[in-house]
Amino acid sequence: MSVVSGNAWPANDLWPREHYLSSGFRLRDWLLTTDHKRIGWLYLASITAFFFLGGVAALLIRLELMTPRGDLVTADTYNQLFSMHGIIMIWFFLIPSIPATLGNFLLPLMVGARDLAFPRINLLSWYIYTIGGIFTLFAVIAGGVDTGWTFYTPYSTMFSNTAVLAAVTGVFVVGFSSILTGINFIVTTHKMRAPGLSWMRLPLFVWANYATSLIMVLATPVLSCTLLLIALERVLGIGIFDPSLGGDPILFQHLFWFYSHPAVYIMILPGMGVVSEIITCFSRNPIFGYKGMAISIMSIAIFGFIVWGHHMFVAGQSLYAGVMFSFFTFLVALPSAIKTFNWTATLYKGRIHFTAPMLYGLSFIGLFTIGGLTGIILASLAIDIHVHDTYFVVAHFHYIMVGGMVTAYLGGLHFWWPKMTGKRYSELWSKVAALALFIGFNLTFFPQFILGYLGMPRRYHEYPADFQILNAMSSLGAGVLAIGYLLPLVYLTWSLFKGQPAGSNPWNAKGLEWLTTSPPLKHNFVQIPRVTEPAYAYDRDDG
């Protein structure tokens, strides 16, 4: 078998005669497909559109913040920009990003199944996602929404006169799409593993998606119920969060964060899964401490449910509730620390190939480390009093979600692109893009930590003049980052038409998905494979 070498794609030009892309080219073959691989593509196309939409909003925000005065857009427009940026990026890009695209495509392949357990529900979830997206776009057209992605009451219920209802409906609807995806993944992982594929042989990508699905299934409905109460409050005049009726606006925050904190783990666990696949493959080493990795994924998912109060340290919960939530938050950092350690240790005595996916993977480890450790700083009650709702928080969660999840998503896309399309992409340009991303990202978000500790509150349209230098650095970085995101769009699209065939296993990787052709067959496998070895049975000497 040919082997990955440092700088060349293997000369392997297998191209299957029949595969999932070759059967049916009409529009209805795509829109009515129940093939998980094609649904993965539907999701990929839609989330890419939303990603660039949310990205444009981000760029406008950064442009506005080049100067301390509000001179590019009005205050109201600015508020709508960051609200749309948050809503779109979180619910229409990050949450479905890895699970609904790579997960949809790969989960059945990785467990050795012909499809997910409920193919039609899988398609339904995409349609629900689309309907949610239409509501959100409608909210943008109908004058935008200015509540921030958090919809805090009583601002969202009684004071904002923007298209809150349309946006809330959009998010409410899209929640059901992730619930359905979650159910599908859980059932598939439980019931459809190939013979011999025990739980402890599952790739960590499957573990990560399984844990993510658990959170989706258990947390999303609480968000739905909270948004429903907001909608009822706006439409019917029901006042469960209305302080003038004796309702409690803090209750909204509890319900909201009960979902939205676990949702943060929806937005990072799949990335951890992807990186575990990449790091092992390109260091030709089994993962360091497989069991520890699987356990830490599950414990992050479970502990994630009891730390929501750390979003409310200054909102006036009792002192001791604050201390408890801080304690649990420190605890939830432990499994993350173990994971970072294990990825790094996986490199030890490996045979490391610096391919584009590997560059993304290593960037992920670095950025996630910074994001995670600043999370510890935020979990410290005393510091959080000072930096809560400042740019420190903004920088922290962008390190996790953008530096972590988006980097992992791009890494995964580069890793499995040859599998999904059967084509190779430009090696040089992909490395340039990975580098631009790493540099641009740090330039954008590192200055924001300093800004935050200096006290610049988030969601500020105008700011005191002495914050300008740091803000300008950040805006400059955003430009570089934008290049890092646009480049893959160009060369990956190019590869679809002009790329050389990749062959079934260009990286010489382990895992069931590499046993089938690239692109895979319509029903994935000629015969369901039988698994006889643990995951990542790499051999350091075969390269």
Partner 1 sequence: MLTTETTDRRLSAQGPVAEQFEAMQQQQASNQFGMWLFLATELLLFGGIFASYVVYLFLYPQGFSEASNLLSLPMGMSNTAVLLTSGLTMVLTEHTINAGRRRSALLFLLATLALGLSFLAIKALEWHHEYQEGLMPVLGLAFEHSGEHAQQVRLFFHFYFSLTGLHVFHMLVGLGLLGTIAVFILQWRDPPRIARQVQITALYWAFVDVLWVVIFTLLYVLRL
Partner 2 sequence: MSEQRAYLPDIERGLRFLPEQASRFAGDLDIFYLVMVVVCGLLTILVFALICYFGYRYRANSHANREHIPSPRTSQRIELGVLTIMFVVFMGLFAWSSDLYLGQYRGPQSAMTINVIGKQWMWKVQHPDGAREINTIHVPVGETIALRVTSEDVIHSFYIPDFRIKRDVLPGAYREVWFEATTPGEYRLFCAEYCGSYHSRMRGKIVAMEQAAYQRWLSRQGQHDTPEVQGARLFSSYGCSGCHIGESSVRAPELAGVYGRPVPLSSGGTVMADDAYLRDSILQPQKHVVAGFNPIMPSFSGQISEDELLQIIAYIKSLQPEESGTTPPDDTTDGEEP
The contact set with partner 1 (CB under 8 A) reads: 108, 113-119, 121, 179, 182-184, 186-187, 190-192, 195, 217-222, 224-226, 228-229, 232, 236-240, 245-248, 251, 255, 258, 523, 528
Provide, rounded to whole angstroms, the least separation between the CB of residue 61 and partner 2: 13
Provide, rounded to whole angstroms, the least separation between the CB of residue 132 and partner 2: 24
> CA-CA distances (angstroms) from residue 156 to 146, 186, 228, 459?
8, 34, 13, 16
Provide, rounded to whole angstroms, the least separation between the CB of residue 345 and partner 1: 36
Provide, rounded to whole angstroms, the least separation between the CB of residue 157 and partner 1: 12
Provide, rounded to whole angstroms, the least separation between the CB of residue 305 and partner 1: 11
Provide, rounded to whole angstroms, the least separation between the CB of residue 134 and partner 2: 26
> CA-CA distances (angstroms) from residue 152 to 164, 301, 325, 364?
11, 25, 21, 32
For 88, residues 6+ apart whose C-beta sits below 8 A from its C-beta are: 50, 53, 54, 57, 136
Rounded-to-integer distance, Cα 161 and Cα 320, Å = 37
Q: Residue 75 or 142: which CB sits closer to partner 2?
A: 75
Q: Residue 244 or 527: which CB sits closer to partner 2?
A: 244
- The site partner of 258 among partner 2, partner 1, none (C-beta below 5 to 8 Å per kind) is partner 1
Provide, rounded to whole angstroms, the least separation between the CB of residue 273 and partner 2: 19
- From 454, 475, 453, 471, select the one nearest 462 (Cα to Cα): 471
Q: Residue 63 or 338: which CB sits closer to partner 2?
A: 338
- The site partner of 353 among partner 2, partner 1, none (C-beta below 5 to 8 Å per kind) is partner 2
- The site partner of 191 among partner 1, partner 2, none (C-beta below 5 to 8 Å per kind) is partner 1
Q: Residue 6 or 318: which CB sits closer to partner 1?
A: 318
Token couple for 46: 């839609």
Answer yes or no: are the C-beta atoms of 377 and 398 closer than 8 Å: no
Q: Residue 220 or 421: which CB sits closer to partner 1?
A: 220
- From 259, 94, 111, select the one nearest 187 (Cα to Cα): 111
Rounded-to-integer distance, Cα 228 and Cα 239, Å = 12
Answer yes or no: are the C-beta atoms of 7 and 431 closer than 8 Å: no
Q: Residue 191 or 540: which CB sits closer to partner 2?
A: 540
- The site partner of 427 among partner 1, partner 2, none (C-beta below 5 to 8 Å per kind) is none
Token couple for 327: 């304690």
Provide, rounded to whole angstroms, the least separation between the CB of residue 116 and partner 1: 7
Q: Residue 53 or 222: which CB sits closer to partner 1?
A: 222
Q: Residue 229 or 420: which CB sits closer to partner 1?
A: 229
> CA-CA distances (angstroms) from residue 88 to 10, 92, 234, 396, 485?
39, 5, 22, 19, 17
- The site partner of 534 among partner 2, partner 1, none (C-beta below 5 to 8 Å per kind) is none
- The site partner of 523 among partner 2, partner 1, none (C-beta below 5 to 8 Å per kind) is partner 1
- The site partner of 498 among partner 1, partner 2, none (C-beta below 5 to 8 Å per kind) is none
Rounded-to-integer distance, Cα 320 and Cα 328, Å = 12
Q: Residue 234 or 431: which CB sits closer to partner 1?
A: 234
> Please, which residues bridge with residue 457 across strands?
390
Q: Residue 126 or 241: which CB sits closer to partner 1?
A: 241
Provide, rounded to whole angstroms, the least separation between the CB of residue 169 and partner 1: 15
Provide, rounded to whole angstroms, the least separation between the CB of residue 266 and partner 2: 23
- The site partner of 16 among partner 2, partner 1, none (C-beta below 5 to 8 Å per kind) is none
- The site partner of 341 among partner 1, partner 2, none (C-beta below 5 to 8 Å per kind) is partner 2
Rounded-to-integer distance, Cα 368 and Cα 361, Å = 10
DSSP string, 417-466: HHHHHSB---HHHHHHHHHHHHHHHHHHHHHHHHHHHHT-BSS-SS--GG
Provide, rounded to whole angstroms, the least separation between the CB of residue 165 and partner 1: 15
Q: Residue 235 or 319: which CB sits closer to partner 1?
A: 235
- The site partner of 453 among partner 2, partner 1, none (C-beta below 5 to 8 Å per kind) is partner 2
| Residue-wise burial string across 281-312, b where 16 or more C-beta atoms lie within 10 A, e elsewhere | bbbbbbbbbbeebbebbbbbbbbbbbbbbbbb
- The site partner of 439 among partner 1, partner 2, none (C-beta below 5 to 8 Å per kind) is none
- From 19, 28, 164, 55, select the one nearest 444 (Cα to Cα): 55
- The site partner of 494 among partner 2, partner 1, none (C-beta below 5 to 8 Å per kind) is none
Provide, rounded to whole angstroms, the least separation between the CB of residue 267 and partner 2: 21
| Half-sphere exposure in the Cβ direction for 224 (13 Å, CA) | 15
Token couple for 249: 């606006």
Q: Residue 107 or 367: which CB sits closer to partner 1?
A: 107
- From 528, 533, 504, 529, select the one nearest 516 (Cα to Cα): 504
Token couple for 137: 């776009």
Answer yes or no: are the C-beta atoms of 88 and 136 closer than 8 Å: yes
